[in-house]
Amino acid sequence: ALFLDQLQKDLEEVKELLTSATRKRVRDVLVAEKQKLELEIKNQPLPKPKDVVEEEKSSLGGYTVKINNYGWDQSDKFVKIYISLNGVQKLPAENVQVNFTERSFDLLVKNLNGKNYTMTFNNLLKPISVEGSSRKIKTDMILVMCKKKREEKWDCLTQVEKESKEKEKAAYDTTDPSEGLMNILKKMYAEGDDEMKRTINKAWVESREKQYKGDIPMDI
């Protein structure tokens, strides 16, 4: 919920900047960032009602940790996600739960060394078979086996990753060097922290001021 709140605040600020931006290229950067933020917000899992959250907390007990690190591989029939968790093999099997849908899965590990662990994958790249998917508990690791509906190669795990890769590829596929540089700047701006955004904004403002003064004839 906190991450979603930050994304929404970022989106509000980008919209505010768009109302005052006059240069086309600056607007392009802001529009790209706006679309990226809107996509991220759209793909955030919906917050659960408070009473459901409280009930889950009381039934789980302890502190819940979101798992972010994983590895993945694939065969003709399965996409395999590897999640490292020390000592997971010592838990009762029912403490490791995975719920599958056709385009998502979520993992819940209960009471491992006094903590609970969760991981959610939404918008999987291609549909999976819920019945054919499963999880295996190994030494210090969980293996989530997503059964592919069709035997084909996956280029990445989720739709969001695919869209991100396509945007990145399009950014560098240009014969105009100055356009390529601008696309790299856009990417830096879209993925940068607040400091990076301030630096790029400052550079644009300064070059615009110089242009108005007639120091340099540049269109940026």
Per-residue pLDDT averaged across 153-167, rounded?
87
Sorted by where each begins, the domain ranges of the chain are 1-43, 64-148, 159-200
- 191: pLDDT strictly greater than 60: yes
- Confidence band (pLDDT; 50, 70, 90) for 146? very high
pLDDT of res. 140: 94
- Homologous superfamily of the 1-43 domain (CATH): UVR domain (4.10.860.10)
Of 123, 127, 97, the C-alpha closest to 45 is 123
- 167: pLDDT strictly greater than 60: yes
Structure tokens at 139: 């030494």
pLDDT of res. 51: 58
pLDDT digits 0-9 by tens, 98-140: 999 999 999 999 999 889 999 998 899 999 999 999 999 999 9
pLDDT of res. 220: 45
The answer to whether the pTM exceeds 0.75 is: no
Topology, domain 64-148: Immunoglobulin-like (2.60.40)
- Which residues 6+ apart lie within 8 Å of 170 measured at CB? none
pLDDT of res. 6: 81
Output the average pLDDT for the chain.
Answer: 82
H helices of 80-213, where? Answer: 159-172, 177-191, 194-213
* Contact criterion met (CB below 8 Å) for 173 and 151: no
Q: What percent of the chain has pLDDT over 90?
A: 38
- 216: pLDDT strictly greater than 70: no
Query: Are 1-43 and 64-148 equal in CATH topology?
Result: no
pLDDT of res. 102: 94
pLDDT digits 0-9 by tens, 62-96: 688 999 889 999 999 999 999 999 999 999 999 99
Tell me the C-alpha distance between 161 and 152, whole Å: 17
